[in-house]
Amino acid sequence: MLEVAEISAVRAIVETGSIKKAADALNTTQPTLSKLLLRLEDRLGATLFHRSRRGMVPTAAGSFVATSAVGIVTELSKIERQISTMAEAGPVTIRLGVGPIVEHLFLSKTLANHLTEFPRTRIDIRTEAAEVLQQLVLTGEVDLAVGPFDETEIDPRLQAVSVAEEPIIYVARPEHPLFNEDKDWTLAELMQLPLATPHSPTSVNKQMAPDANPDEGRRDGGLRCENYPTLMAVAREVDLVLPGPRSLFEDALDAGTFKPIPTSFTLMWKCACLLRPETLYAAPLQRLVDQFTDVAAR
């Protein structure tokens, strides 16, 4: 059976093209790595590298081991991180991925609650679109993702925990010319106006255009960004239409900074925590899911 050290050695030699460089990358010596490789080739009965003055070139067998190693090392890393997170003692690092609305709406309160309860926890945060976040959870690059995940699009290897659901409204600064027209705007009409929006999640796209590309027919111009404070700041100065869940705009609506646009349609924003099922066995992660749900409910 191949050992982790052997897999790592082959992968390092393939990536660096040199025994010496691979030894440096693995914090070992060149003679030690050479002996390991020779023993491995002898045991497998196959030559893994062509040796020449120009360096080490993998054979078909060597390339196969190195390519297969990527998934193996990733899975081993997942296991190691999961066991570390499940341990009661010692500091814990949580890699958290969030959508732009989550980041702006209830991330800060959730983090404050969590760090109060688990003061030795370190949380690393990434803000990405929903489709990207799901892939990051699958590959183990993120432990927990919170965003607008469509239940029909969630990978069966993952588990979703509902956090919030509310209507999406469209707003603009009070000076926007569209308010000169006394009518309820249709979705098709709003899509013709310059928008300030993050990349729309699949769940919203399906509501907007279930049988078509929602970007078709959209007018040129506007702003797309995963940072809602930036979107809102620009929309206060320029005639842009900004969609989002109503709670996102409550303060701005009360202050008169933005004005709701009358519409003839209803879209829903859904938010869920997405994670690998085994993650819920880790107390800090389980509590973080609960805290997102609690803060969203308020």
So what's the pLDDT on residue 253?
A: 95
Tokens found for residue 4? 């982790």
pLDDT, tens digit (0-9, with 9 covering 90-100), for 26-69: 888 898 899 989 988 888 888 999 988 778 899 998 888 888 76
**Cα(273)–Cα(137) distance, rounded to whole angstroms?**
11
Return the DSSP state at 261: P
- Give the model's confidence band at 76: pLDDT under 50 very low, under 70 low, under 90 confident, else very high: low
Specify whether the CB–CB gap between 257 and 236 falls below 8 A. Answer: yes
Task: List Cβ neighbours of 150 (8 Å cut-off, separation of 6 or more).
Answer: 130, 201, 202, 203, 206, 270
**Cα(169)–Cα(268) distance, rounded to whole angstroms?**
9
**Cα(275)–Cα(83) distance, rounded to whole angstroms?**
15
Is a pLDDT exceeding 90 seen at residue 183?
yes
Question: For the chain, what is the mean pLDDT?
Answer: 84
Is a pLDDT exceeding 90 seen at residue 273?
yes
Specify whether the CB–CB gap between 172 and 240 falls below 8 A. Answer: yes
133-161 burial: b if 16+ Cβ within 10 Å, else e: bbebbeebebbbbbbbbbeeebeeebbbb
Other Cβ atoms within 10 Å of 39 Cβ, number: 11
pLDDT, tens digit (0-9, with 9 covering 90-100), for 249-265: 999 999 999 999 999 99
Count how many Cα atoms sit within 13 Å of the Cα of residue 70 in the half-sphere of its side chain.
Answer: 7
So what's the pLDDT on residue 211?
A: 41
So what's the pLDDT on residue 44?
A: 87
What's the rounded mean pLDDT across residues 238-244? 94
**Cα(26)–Cα(20) distance, rounded to whole angstroms?**
10
* Residue-range domains of the chain with CATH: 4-76 (1.10.10.10), 92-163+270-297 (3.40.190.10), 165-268 (3.40.190.10)
Is a pLDDT exceeding 60 seen at residue 156?
yes
Residue 119, phi then psi, degrees to nearest 5: -65, -20
pLDDT, tens digit (0-9, with 9 covering 90-100), for 81-113: 555 555 544 457 889 999 888 988 889 999 999
